[in-house]
Amino acid sequence: MTTNPFKTAKWDGDTAKSETYVEMLKQLITLKKSTSNTRKLKKPYTPSPENNRKKAIVEEKRLKSKQNGRKSDKLSKKIKMKKKRSTGSPSSSSTSSTSDSSSSSSSSGDESESDSEGEKKRMKLELEKKLLKKYQSEISELVTHSEHLVAELAKERKKQKQLRKELEENKKKRKKKKRENDVTIVDRILKKKEKNRKKLKSMLAEKLDESAIELKKPHKGTKEALSLKQKMEQKLNAARFRFLNEQIYTMDSKEAKKIFEQDPDAFRVYHEGYRQQVKQWPLNPLDVVIQTIKRMPKSLVVADFGCGEGRLAKSVPQRTFSFDLVALADHVTPCDMAHVPLHETCIDVAVFCLSLMSTNLGDYLLEANRVLVVGGTLKIVEVVSRFERPEDFIKAVQYFGFKLMWKDLTHDYFYFMDFKKITILRIRPNCRSSNYTYSLVCTRRDSL
């Protein structure tokens, strides 16, 4: 521990002790420097700009107070010097002067410090008031802005609700219009069919009457009579073919089968009329189908839906199953083509050559999907006049688990399409699907 030298030694006014006091002062200076260096090293301080401003203000106030204190010190020293001269005692004058100077400096310093502290408090209060005013104004602006935003959000929500309601109403109106249009279209189709039936019946009655009158007339020659009979029979067969064709297109496959079972000659007359119409065509589509199947491997199994006389099975090397409503040959199995006597996934190629008739076309396509192997081909050939838009028909067929692989729409009389089975339909679709396909293919074959 270092002892304070001023406590051990005192100044007596002798000049002999000056050297000892000088040494003591040097020791004090070294001690102060060491303490100041340690304090600086301990806490490095980086002042902010606001602290610098505050310090500058405080330092200005201190300088003013120091200047005032120095002036008071000078005045006190002059007064003391005058007293010394008047008294002549240096010791008493020195002691009195030191005491007066210390008292005056302490009083002036206290006053300056109190003034600086009061000014600081005032400055702080003023700054706090200004900040409060700013914050209050900003908060009020934010509150008003938030209220405005809330009102706008409520308005937008109301608008969205109104728009949703309008959209729902528009959807309902569109659905109603579609239903009304569908009903009107169906009514028109039924009216046209009834008119056509009446016309056909009247034509048949007229022709039968004409034929009966001509048969009663005497014939000049046997050859001329035979030619007239043949012509009349051909005309009657053609008229009956059209009438049967119209009936098949406007009823289910079950009803058509019942009609042909009750009148087996009707099916024969129908196919005779069909043969006469095929002669008028520039191309027989069954020949094209036969050529394409001949190019396929012989191990495949083929099913001919609506085979007629079963010509495809006779002209193809593959094993073929022939199905139709009535059997015109021994290798043809009579059945409803919506319910064929075959196991599931046992056929590689299914053919519908001008045989997608009646109103339950969807049942035919479902039966083809049931019988075909996954990856098997479905060949469809139909008359051009039956299609308003072939794209819609393709979409309808793909709805039953098929995918379009090839199509030829360049011919003037027929469309050729090949589909591939992709999926197995375990559940039958709604009846709307079959009606949809029927509405796409609703014209008659005799339009050519």
Query: What phi and psi, each to the nearest 5 degrees, are found at residue 173?
Result: -65, -45
Number of other CB atoms surrounding residue 430 within 10 Å:
10
| Residue pair 384/412 in contact by the 8 Å Cβ criterion | yes
First to last CA, the chain: 133
Helix (H) or strand (E) holding 256: helix 253-262
What residues have CB less than 8 Å from 140, skipping those under 6 apart? none
Place of tokens 């109603």: 176
Q: Which of 337, 302, 331 minimizes the C-alpha distance to 316?
A: 302
| Residue pair 108/69 in contact by the 8 Å Cβ criterion | yes
Six token digits for residue 285: 């589509």
416: three-class secondary structure by DSSP: strand
pLDDT reported for residue 110: 59
Place of tokens 């199995």: 333
- What DSSP designation does 441 have? B
Query: For residue 64, is it left (φ>0), alpha (ψ between -120 and 50) or beta?
Result: alpha
pLDDT reported for residue 372: 96
pLDDT reported for residue 133: 82
Fold of 285-447: Rossmann fold (3.40.50)
* DSSP symbols for 351-399: EEES---SS-HHHHHHHHHHHEEEEEEEEEEEEGGGBS-HHHHHHHHHT
User: CB under 8 Å, gap of 24 or more: what pairs does 307-311 form?
Assistant: 307/332, 307/355, 308/271, 308/274, 309/271, 311/286
Please return the burial class of 76, using the count of CB atoms within 10 Å of its CB with bins 0-12, 13-18 and 19+.
middle
How do the domains of the chain map onto residue ranges? 285-447
pLDDT reported for residue 125: 85
pLDDT 10s digits, 131-152: 888 888 888 888 888 888 888 8
pLDDT reported for residue 442: 36
347: three-class secondary structure by DSSP: strand
pLDDT reported for residue 427: 55
pLDDT reported for residue 111: 59
The span from the CA of 20 to the CA of 419, in Å, is 125
**Residue ranges of E strands in 240-383:** 301-305, 319-324, 332-334, 347-353, 372-383
22: three-class secondary structure by DSSP: helix
pLDDT reported for residue 342: 95
* Average pLDDT by stretches of 10, the chain with 448 residues: 50 57 74 60 58 76 71 69 63 47 54 73 83 83 86 89 89 84 81 81 73 54 54 66 73 82 78 81 92 95 93 95 90 92 95 89 92 96 88 92 93 92 72 40 34
